[in-house]
Amino acid sequence: MASADKFQQMGIDEERLEAAWRLLDSEVEQGRIPGGTVLVLRRGMTAAHAAGYSLIDGETRISATADTVYDCASLTKVVVTLPLVLQLIEQGMLALGDRVSAYFPAFSANGKGEVTVRQLLTHTSGMAAYRDFYSHGLAPDEIMAAICADPLVCEPGTKVVYSCLGYIVLGRLVSQLLGMSLDRAAENLIFRPLGMTSSCFNPPESWKPHIAATEYDPALGTFRWGRVHDENAYALGGVSGNAGLFSTAADLARCAAVWLDRGGFLISRAAVEAALRNDTIHLAGAARGLGWVLHGDPRDASGDLLSARSYGHTGFTGTSLCIDPARDLAVILLTNKVHFGRGRSIAGFAARVHNAIAASLTD
């Protein structure tokens, strides 16, 4: 199919879409990111653009391509942990109102006895955003015990506090209920059914030339390359409910298609609808579904031109996934911005990309 025919079928003005591609090129040229990929999914078809490098190490430079594998960071929460939790709910093995302490009795310490699965998913549990468990030499079970003992930072249900700790607990809960490790559950119940052949936790060494390196690690004397960037996830063996997923833009598009189709064989339409309801409507300014950041939330990176039904998520390493069901549109942005340090969020750049892509739509 000729390119012009493809864009016509996608309902995209190719010249206007070039503006989005140029934004990525410019971000690389100005030294804000080493490289990245933008992928647009519409009407079951995709268009992608890659720029820059997946590794810059002295004179060594590896070009980024549309097939480069990225450390997805917190996209793990909505691509892996959330669908697995929803599957458990569909099977009657779990309910949103269940107290977490019913599955992990030690979790009831320090006022957490009434915290629910729903509150973990919506970041309203009152748990801390993050703790340094990785630098103390703790084993995975010891990290889980430390999280269970950790005090709340606010009353459950009263505030959104984005908490990686809550998703570490959710990953453990999924593993316990399914009787298998989280990475195995992801492979069996998400990646393989969706044909996500370039997605995994702890990628094998053979993948390394195709993986975007993240941050320089003085302790290693080199870049983190093919190992998870998130320190707590690394201490948990590289497999965690909050981070650890490595994937490509094309694979993430397969996941996004499930949500655009309002479910299917992976999760039900009812589960999709439940996940996209605003569960924090009672909290001023907040717009959180189960896992997803909804339009209008302070962390919303959808931009100015997507619809009020849009939703998404970002990842600390420089990743973003945004879905707009009103326009049958998903946009995946993958970068390794932390290759240059931790100083900038990807959200502002992602919003500009989303604006340019929205402007390219012809219907």
- Residue count of the chain, please give it: 363
What's residue 100's pLDDT?
98
Spatial contact of 84 and 174, defined as CB atoms under 8 Å apart: yes
Tokens (6 digits) for 143 = 């990290």
- What are the respective helix, strand and coil percentages of the chain, to the nearest 5? 40, 15, 40
pLDDT at 50 over 90: yes
Sequence-ordered alpha helix ranges (H) in the chain: 3-10, 14-29, 75-76, 82-90, 117-121, 140-149, 164-178, 182-186, 192-194, 231-235, 249-260, 269-275, 347-360
What's residue 348's pLDDT?
97
Q: Using a cut of 0.85, tell me whether the model's pTM lies above it.
A: yes
Tokens (6 digits) for 1 = 């199919």
Give the angle subtended at the CA of 168 by the CAs of 273 and 239, to the nearest 5°.
105
What's residue 258's pLDDT?
97
pLDDT over 70 for what percent of the chain? 99
Give me the amino acid identity at 147: I
pLDDT at 178 over 80: yes
- Mean local confidence (pLDDT), 164-180: 98
Q: DSSP readout, 58-103?
A: TTEEEE--TT-BEE-TTHHIIIIIHHHHHHHHHTTS--TT-BGGGT
Mean pLDDT of all residues belonging to the chain: 97
> Cα-atom radius of gyration of the chain, to the nearest Å?
20
Tell which residue, 57, 87, 88, has the closest CA to residue 340. 57
Give me the amino acid identity at 179: G
